[in-house]
Amino acid sequence: MTQFKDRVFSGMQPTHTLHLGNYLGAMVNWVRMQDTHDCIYCVVDLHAITMPQDPKALAANIREVAAAYIACGIDPARSILFNQSRVHEHAELAWVFNCVARMGWLNRMTQFKEKAGKDRENAAVGLFAYPTLMAADILLYKGTHVPVGEDQKQHLELTRDIAQKFNNDFAASIAEHGFGETFFPLPEPMIQGPATRVMSLRDGTKKMSKSDPSDYARINLTDDADAIAQKVRKAKTDPEPLPSEAAGLAGRPEADNLVGIYAALRDVPREAVLAEFGGANFSTFKSALVDVAVDRLAPITGEMRRLSADPGHIDAILAEGARKASEIAAGTMDAVRRIVGFGPR
């Protein structure tokens, strides 16, 4: 699909403080992609309200997540950084997609089933339609590459199905209006690898998660050096010393996780970590891990604190991002209006 220019789009919900799993699993990758791609990063606040949110907390979280993006290295001068609700075309295109996507497609989404739980009758309609809004996010900018976690793969497949069905259903109109043969690209997921999958510090078989009831399960990007040290020292381990080769981590999920975190923070392969620490006990290794974690995270935490002290500055960055995003979004939506038959606005 050479007709489409490469463009990265991704987003995170402003429902919680970002943690080390978000950082190593997603952010680091997003930041790096700015060197090679045209990138758009979104704080998806419309998605956040598919579950109940306290309005004051939501407003604070939007700024906090935006601050985290910037502190981690998303550069608003190079990438477009904005919050979704400021660009009304997201909701508008999502409506069109609600009329393209089929009930059967959405009924298959496993994340809805998990999030709605047993009381499905009582779930928000928006929670069910969530994936069509996600498709609108990406396709509004004709995004071609979407870095996401494994759990979003199904939503990306649905996005492709929607793009394809729109292209097919409106093929004649697309051609008539001079948009060529296909209007939307079929975006590719860039699955953020298992190499950087960060697990809970309390249970190496579970993902590090915002919803874990124990704050000791995760390292938040807002944690100071003391909190990081405490959490690492309390992290679950096993009684054996560290192995000197990766094969020795099999069946030792907690050891595997801590070695993986250390490797990711230093940006070296785990083999190199094991070559250094093989035979060491966990108290030695944990001290080294605390040093590396604090080294890497302290500048981010500091920058987040600095940014958070000036909410007006963050709001200005988001407003400028929304302005740039709107320029692209308005063009796409104007074309969609004509293609569907509404005529231009």
Q: Which residues are catalytic?
A: 115, 207, 210
Measured from the CB atom, the residue of 148 and 273 that comes closer to ligand TRP is 148
Angle among Cα 127, 133, 135 to the nearest 5 degrees reads 130
Binding site for ligand TRP (CB under 6 A): 9-13, 44, 47, 134, 137-138, 146, 148, 152, 155
SS (H, E, C) 120-155: HHHCCHHHHHHHHHHHHHHHHCCCCEEEECHHHHHH
Closest residue to ligand TRP using C-beta atoms: 11
Residue 264, Cβ neighbours under 10 Å: how many?
A: 22
Output 153 or 323, the one with its CB closest to ligand TRP. Answer: 153
Please say whether the beta carbons of 231 and 216 come within 8 A.
Answer: yes
Contact assessment for residue 62 and residue 45, using Cβ atoms and an 8 Å cutoff? yes
**Of 111 and 173, CB closest to ligand TRP:** 111
Nearer to ligand TRP, 152 or 167 (CB): 152
Minimum CB distance to ligand TRP, residue 135 (Å): 8
Sheet holding 145-148, edge to edge: 80-83, 39-43, 8-12, 145-148, 188-191
Q: With the CA atoms of 67, 114, 260 and 221 taken in that order, what torsion angle do they form, in degrees rounded to the nearest 10?
A: 20
**CB of 10 vs ligand TRP, minimal distance in Å:** 4
CB of 47 to ligand TRP, least distance (A): 5
Q: How far is the CB of 46 from ligand TRP (least distance, A)?
A: 9
C-alpha distance from residue 157 to each of 5, 101, 152, 234, 334 (Å): 20, 12, 9, 40, 25
d(CA 44, CA 83): 6
Q: How far is the CB of 15 from ligand TRP (least distance, A)?
A: 9
130 or 277: whose CB is closer to ligand TRP?
130
Question: CB atoms < 10 A from the CB of 95, how many?
Answer: 12
